[in-house]
Amino acid sequence: MSGHSKWANIKHKKGKADAQKGKIFTKLGREIVVASRACGGDLGNFRLKIAVENAKAQNVPNENIQRAIQKGAGGSDGATYEELRYEGYGPGGVAVMVDILTDNRNRTAAEVRHIFSKNGGNMGETGCVGWMFEDKGQLRIPREDLKFSEDDLMMIALEAGAEDLEDDTEEFVIYTSPETMEDVRKALEEQHIVVSESVLSPMAQNTIEITDADQARKIVHLMETLEDHDDTQGVYSNFELSEALASEDF
């Protein structure tokens, strides 16, 4: 929706400070370890391939990537991470989901619950908001690197099986089903179109527009605090800022 901002785009625009790179590398490394463990280090596996590409896009050194793949494929070495998803509500009743990789379920659950309650929300039961989301592939295309028009980009993506294209000022975001994400990504690569990020993540089927600046500030703070938790791999919500708030720096 032109003129509005969803959480995924707000987060992406904020970027990451250099001081946070260690934390980013850690989270990306964990995802590679888990993906590699699930497929035995098979680089043809879609999840592992995406995890490696996202790590490279964030300039994670190749030796770190290879070490994480080998650690996962080796099985029992190091910590065993458990994949969890916590669900709840933020200020104003917006839906929030948090994907977690943790080696201590009880500790992480207590810490995430505390973040929710401290920031005007509450953690709910499994499934309380999950029904509002569906998995979608999201491919980000930097506008400055694109040698095609928006119409041409749309045509290439749609012919490969994409569902939609969103113009987000500095970049385009292509949305796909989980089944067609790889085909669309390959079609873009064949046209030498740079994909800066590829993710498969939950996307709200319907959104709640936030028009009050104070409420928006509280929601964004909750989302950022959840994102900053060491065990968090992704945070998702069904809110979007109104056109009047979309350009605000929260």
CA distances from 89 to 84, 206, 222 (A): 17, 15, 10
Quick check: is 148 in a domain?
Answer: no
What's the pLDDT score for residue 26? 85
What's the pLDDT score for residue 58? 82
What's the pLDDT score for residue 20? 59
CA distance 135 to 59: 26
Quick check: is 158 in a domain?
Answer: no
pTM for the full predicted model: 0.81
**Helical H runs in the chain?**
7-14, 21-39, 46-57, 62-74, 105-118, 150-159, 181-190, 213-228
Q: Which two tokens stand for residue 21?
A: 């790179």
CA distances from 31 to 1, 26, 88, 118 (A): 31, 9, 23, 28
Quick check: is 194 in a domain?
Answer: no
What's the pLDDT score for residue 82? 87
CA distance 28 to 143: 25
CATH number of the domain encompassing residue 214: 3.30.70.980
In the β-sheet with 164-167, what is the strand arrangement from edge to edge?
164-167, 171-176, 133-142, 197-204
Q: State which residues form the domain around 92.
A: 82-131+205-241
Question: For 32, how many CA atoms within 13 A lie in the half-sphere containing its CB?
Answer: 25
Q: What is the pLDDT of residues 133-142, one digit of tens each?
A: 999 999 999 9
Total count of domains within the chain: 1
What's the pLDDT score for residue 15? 55
What's the pLDDT score for residue 3? 45
Quick check: is 212 in a domain?
Answer: yes
239-241 and 208-210 strand pairing:
parallel
What's the pLDDT score for residue 157? 96
Under-70 pLDDT residues of the chain: 1-5, 12-22, 75-79, 250
197-204 and 5-6 strand pairing:
unpaired
